[in-house]
Structure formats: structure tokens, C-alpha cells
Structure 1
């Protein structure tokens, strides 16, 4: 069969063989935010950015993941859903273009056949010939809306964020407050979580609640450490920090005393200081001993409720107490950054 019969199809294939571009509109959600996803394969966290700020404030060269801090150019932050939809629609576009060409070739072939002939052939194409370029619909809104206090960019996340996606600033206040809110949310929702999982397994419900409580201990210590590590170097006459110095209460308190004239013992009362020591030592146990009490824990924490070999039991009331104390010290530290210490 002659190539002339398929000239439209051959032309379409030649055009598609060259660089073919496809553009799919992206819609913001009802709050005016675009969906984004971290391109770091170890993260892939999704978040949203205000559509106006994306156009007016964000740089083409660098956007930052609010969760892991990964940096990449602005055209790298498409979500998995957007890429899948774009791939599907691009395939549909190619199929439609080829379908149009095949349909035209079939019509040309049929018109070329002699009307009065003993043998007459006809050709018919059955397939897509039209394509509608649909915009990518936005995912549902995210409740936690944040505005960077450095560049003013607005973004939205689920749970805690640590970096501004526009300027990359690691906000000590934002990060600290997010962690405090996260811990309190765990405690607030424990009963609901227990009731929900208990419908399937009471054992699983108990394990889930216990795990949430235990995870609050390192969360609080890390929040304490990070806010101190972030604020301290920004103050005048601050010394170079040794690694993890703010994981050690005595060493950290001495640093603050030398810099601002007072330390943890001056910011909280004796009972709170004792509870803080217990918190830090329990974090060490969960990190290195699977929560099993040893002599070192009893000696350093002063906690005589346990014997060596027992497992630490974390209570809701204790987590809330620890949270209040860490928040109290964190606000004091953040007050130094603002130039005015909280009294």
C-alpha cells in the first residue's frame, strides 16, 4: 500500500518525533493555594503555597521544603497527582492527534477508490480524535496556614513545618510552637484514638496510645534543644556551641548564665527543675535503653519511683506537666531573641 495513503499519519508522527510540549493548567484550592510536593525521594511531603505569593515572592532558582529543608528550582515541586494527570492527558493528546491523522487518511483512501469496480476496499478508523485539556484540580485545603515572619510568604501544611518554602528561614519560634502544639494534640486525641482502634483490637489501642505518649518525651527534649541552639548563637557575646550541649541541662544552664546572667534554675521553680531532669533522663532511656531503668537514670534524675530493670511508664499528666515547663523555658529563650526576656 502506498505511503501516500498515510501521508497525514506520517506527517503527524514526524511532528511528534520532534520536541513536543504539553501544558496543563494548575488550579489553586478554594483558599487560593497551589499544591506542591518535595522532590526529595526520602521526603515527598506535600504542602501548599499561596498562589499570589508563588508568582510574586518565590524565586525560580530556589524553593525550600518546609519539612526537610531540601532546596530545588521552582519547576521541581509538582505533586505526584499533578504529574500522573499530566502524563495521562499528554498520552490522550498524542492519541487524539494520531487519531485525527488516521481518520483523515482513511477518508482520503476511501475517496480515492474507483466507484465502479468489481473489488472495492474501504478504510475506517475507530478511536479518539478529540482531546480536552483539563486543569489539575487542587487537593483539599490544609488547616494550618502559616505566614513567614521574614519574607511574608504564605503557605499551608499538615502538622509541623520547620522551614519557609520561599526564603528557607528556620523560624525558632514557629518550630518550637509547632512542636508544643503537636504534643498537646497527641494528648488531646488519645481517648478518641483509643476508642477508634479498640473497635478492632484493645491491645493495639493500648500500644498505639502508649507509643504516642512515649514519643512525646523526645519531641519535647528536641524542641527544647533546638530553640536554645537557634537563639543562643544570635545573641551578642555568644560562645561557639559544642555538639548537643543543650541536651545536657547543667552545661546548657551554665552557658545561659554566662551570657545573660541567669539560667534554668532561675526561670522555673525547684519542682519544675526536678521534673525537667526526669524528662531529659527519660528521653535518654527511650533513646538508648528502650525505656528500661538503670542505675544511671536513678542517680541523674533523682526519680526513685522505679527499680533497676523496670520499664518507664509515661502518663498523660506527666507529659502535660513536661510540656508546660518546656514551653515556659522556650518562651524565656525566645524573649532574649526579641530583646526582652519574659518575666
Structure 2
């Protein structure tokens, strides 16, 4: 029996499309990165584990089948063309054979563009997924901590850009930096806790801390009392930016101990505030990653 080999090509950036046989979601990996000669693959979405050759996409399988059929039909046509014959002249009965046709067309495809490209900090596999959070297809390391720390890094870059901006733009970039780092933390914390504590919100970090305290999880381990108070104050500043145009209200004064004379004034946010908040949030992120594991 004749056999045919089909090469599945990588995309322009070197990624190979994959599809989970369990949840049927699409992702990509870059062969040559990650664990050498890793024979099994994890789905970054549902963490299904199976052999690499179980993760071909439907388009790749259709393409491979069409290539094989194209070769078979081409070989068959070539064989039949060798049997072609013209009718002989001056014969009472003469039959000619003519072969026409083309090999079956190939079903070409292209890999899809995905939203998040990640290099696993644990095994260095480069992979791409929909959304932001997922498991490494090689080592199953969840990327939530890596993603939030990457976002913190982007905020620090924004603060660097703010230094050379006009006073108005500088102030706005610093405010955006505060909002962005808290949003990144909130997204990480919700994702990290989604399996064990699916209804837990971190918009109000004080309430979240109190709820996790009941389960023996101390998210502020490593922070002093004054550092924790500082974190709480920055979350309250973010609330003012989001809902009060940054104007100090009575609730802010009550929750932060701010001087009553600040009532009605614009809340002050500095570059140092944002940088210190990122430093403290990294401690909380590490605590959550340590005590709450993704299954």
C-alpha cells in the first residue's frame, strides 16, 4: 500500500495551530520553544491532556486529507493517461481512449490571529490564545500572575512617558496608570479565585480581604499596617476617578481618614503613589498565587 506524508506548515511567525479534542477551542504554539520533545499537550482553556497528534485542527485535517486525495487522484490520472490510444484508421471498428480531468483540488487554509501571545515563565513555551488567561500547553503553568505582572510593567512604562508630557497630560497619564494597575490586579484576582471563590470581587479590596481571612488566606502577609492602609487609599482614589470625576467626597474621607478640608477638592495622585501601589500589589499577587492554585 502506498503512503503519503503531509507537512503542516507554521504561520509567518512560526506558530502552529492547535485545537483541543475536548472543548474544541483553538490556540497556537511555537514548536522549538518550551519543553524539548514534549510528547503530550495541555489545552490552555480546559487543561485537557493528550498526545500532540490529537490536537490537529479541523482545517489541518481537511487540508491533509485533500493533499492525499490530490496525490492519489493525480497518480490515477497519470496511470490512465498511459492507457490513452487513438483510433486506428481504415478499421471497420476502432476504439480510441482519451483521458481528461485534473487532480482533486487542495483545501488550503491559514492559521487564525489570536488576542494574547505569551512566553511561559516556567518552561519558555511561546503560545497564543483567545482572551488573556490560560494554562501553558507544555507545563500547565497558569499564566495569571505572569499577565498581571506584565500589565504592571506597562503601567511603569506609561509613567516614564508621563515625565516628558505637559502638566495636564502628565496628570492624566498618572491617573490612568492608577486605574490600569488596579484593573489589572482585579482581573488577576478574579481569575485566580474563580474556581474556589467564583463570586469574590476585588473592587472593594477590604471586603475581599475579610472574606479570604475567614478561609485562612492572608493576602497582606508581608505588608505593614501603613502599607495596607496605603493600598486601601489608592483603591478609594480609583473609585473617585471612576465615579466622582476624582473629586473627594465624604465617603472617601471616612474610609481613608483624609482631612475634612479636602472635601470637594480634586484628589491628588502622584507617580510615586502608583509605583508604590504596584510594589504592594505584587506582594498581594504573590500571596494569592501561593494560597490559591488553579486545578
Q: Normalising by structure 2, report the TM-score.
A: 0.56
Report the alpha carbon displacement of residue 255 of structure 1 after superposing the two structures with TM.
5.8
Stretches of structure 2 that go unaligned for 5 or more consecutive residues are 162-171
> For residues 45-85 of structure 1, what are the alpha-carbon distances to aligned partners after superposition, in whole Å with 9 as ceiling and x for unaligned?
43447464532xx37xxx331xx445365455336xxx545
Under a length normalisation based on structure 1, what TM-score does the superposition of the two structures give? 0.50
Residue 328 of structure 1, CA deviation:
3.0
1:98 is matched with 73
Residues paired across the two proteins, number:
261
Q: How does 1:59-138 map to 2 (within 5 A)?
A: 63-65=42-44, 68-69=45-46, 71=48, 73-74=50-51, 75=53, 77-78=55-56, 84=59, 87-110=62-85, 113-116=87-90, 123-125=98-100, 127-128=102-103
C-alpha deviation, 1:313, in angstroms: 9.3
Q: Alignment partner of 1:54: what SS? A: coil
Match of 1:156 in 2: 126
Per-residue CA deviations over 1:177-220 (Å, capped at 9, x if unaligned) read: 5412332134326778xxxxxxxxxxxxxx99987763332212
* Partner SS, residue 108 of structure 1: coil
Distance 1:124 1:101 in 2: 11
Indicate conservation of the 8 Å contact 1:184/1:320, yes or no: no
* Aligned positions of 1:193-272 closer than 5 A: 214-223=179-188, 243-244=199-200, 247-249=204-206, 252=209, 256=213, 259=216, 264=220, 267-270=223-226, 272=227
Check conservation: 2:158, 2:177, Cα contact below 8 A.
no
- Distance apart, 1:253 and its partner CA: 5.6
Q: Provide the C-alpha distance between the structure 2 equivalents of 1:143 and 1:167, rounded to a whole number of angstroms.
A: 13
Please list the CA deviations of residues 287-323 of structure 1 after superposition, one character each: whole Å capped at 9, or x if unmatched: 8x59776654554345676849x8x897755432211
Assess, with a 3 A threshold, how the Cα gap between structure 1 residues 251 and 122 changes in structure 2: closer, same or farther.
closer
Contact persistence 1:224–1:330 (CA under 8 A) = yes
Two-structure CA RMSD over aligned residues (Å)? 5.6
The superposition leaves residues 208-246 of structure 1 with CA deviations (integer Å, 9 ceiling, x where unpaired) of 99877633322123445667x59xx9xxxxxxx795276
Q: Tell me which residue corresponds to 2:149.
A: 180
Quickly say closer, same or farther: Cα 1:211–1:157, change in 2 above 3 A. farther
Q: Specify the SS of the correspondent of 1:105.
A: helix
Distance 1:86 1:263 in 2: 47
Query: Equivalents in 1 of 2:82, 2:275: separation in Å?
Result: 77
Shift of 1:110: 1.4
CA distance in 2 between partners of 1:269 and 1:128 (Å): 76
Q: Where do residues 281-320 of structure 1 align in structure 2 (5 Å cutoff)? A: 281=236, 289=243, 296-297=251-252, 299-301=254-256, 307=264, 317-320=272-275
Higher helix proportion: 1
Residue 198 (structure 1) aligns with? none
3-state SS in 2 of match to 1:185: helix
Q: 1:144 to 1:36 in 2, by over 3 A?
A: same
Which residue is 2:28 aligned to? 46
Give the whole-Å Cα distance in 2 for the aligned partners of 1:259 and 1:243.
18
Work out the CA distance in 2 between the residues paired with 1:221 and 1:321.
Answer: 17
Report how far residue 326 of structure 1 moved: 1.0
